[in-house]
Amino acid sequence: MNIVYALIGPPACGKSTIARELSRYGVPEIVSYTTRPPRPGEQDGVDYRFIDKDTFAKTELIEKIAYSGHFYGLGKKDVLNIIEKNPVSVVGVDRNGLEQLKKLLGQRVISIFILIDEGTVIDRVIAQGGDLAAVRAKIDYAKAAGEFDNWQIADHVVKNTGPLENAVRQVMAIMKLVDLQPVTPPQQ
């Protein structure tokens, strides 16, 4: 049975980073649509599929959100295409996204909660010169929405408070991909 592994967890816990690392091992990621314009360095089809509002309105999505004046969502066809063609794939979602995926795919979805504490998130954002106020607001919102407690509903929990490689290896072990070697070099 082909499986989509859904990475869940609070903002900045490392969902996108882990998914990006997995793509180096040939594990495809289901990429969201957004109406937000690309930021410098972002690639269409890798970070997001960047589309306009009319196209977004016409695209069949399994879940969507409005955030900061832009729309984001997961395409139904993308989910079905990827699961049909790949034994193992990955997607980063919030709790509602996970619920909608389960409605569509049933037991073909396995969830992995990426565990992190608030202090580590803040340290990482400061270390990378990120917008601390914006992240604080997101963390507060995520706390209120219970995103920090979603380990309770997850099938697996992986800690991402140490080196990224450790978390990636644990996720790959859950995926039963322990012997895979990277197919592309690390990102700069």
Ligand X SMILES: Nc1nc2c(ncn2[C@@H]2O[C@H](COP(=O)(O)OP(=O)(O)O)[C@@H](O)[C@H]2O)c(=O)[nH]1
Ligand Y SMILES: Nc1ncnc2c1ncn2[C@@H]1O[C@H](COP(=O)(O)OP(=O)(O)O)[C@@H](O)[C@H]1O
- State the maximum Cα–Cα separation within the chain, in Å, rounded to a whole number: 44
91-130: which residues touch ligand X (CB under 6 A)? 94, 97
Residue 80 or 157 having the CB closest to ligand Y: 157
Q: Could you say whether residue 72 binds ligand X (CB under 6 A)?
A: yes
Cβ atoms of residues 53 and 47 within 8 Å:
no
Q: Could you say whether residue 65 binds ligand X (CB under 6 A)?
A: yes
What is the nearest approach in angstroms of ligand X to the Cβ of residue 108?
A: 19
Cβ atoms of residues 61 and 75 within 8 Å:
yes
Q: Could you say whether residue 73 binds ligand X (CB under 6 A)?
A: yes
Binding site for ligand Y (CB under 6 A): 9, 11-17, 92, 124, 128, 160, 163-164, 167
Q: Could you give the CA distance from residue 147 to residue 105 in angstroms, rounded to a whole number?
A: 22
Residue type, 47: D
Q: Three-state SS for 4?
A: strand
What, of ligand Y, ligand X, none, does residue 71 touch, CB below 5 to 8 Å by kind? none
Q: Could you say whether residue 56 binds ligand X (CB under 6 A)?
A: no
Q: Could you say whether residue 35 binds ligand X (CB under 6 A)?
A: no
Residues 6+ apart with CB under 8 A from 3: 83, 87, 88, 89, 108, 109, 110, 175
What, of ligand Y, ligand X, none, does residue 28 touch, CB below 5 to 8 Å by kind? none
What is the nearest approach in angstroms of ligand Y to the Cβ of residue 161?
A: 7
Q: Could you give the CA distance from residue 33 to residue 98 in angstroms, rounded to a whole number?
A: 16
Binding stretches for ligand X (CB under 6 A): 11, 32, 36, 63, 65, 67, 72-74, 94, 97
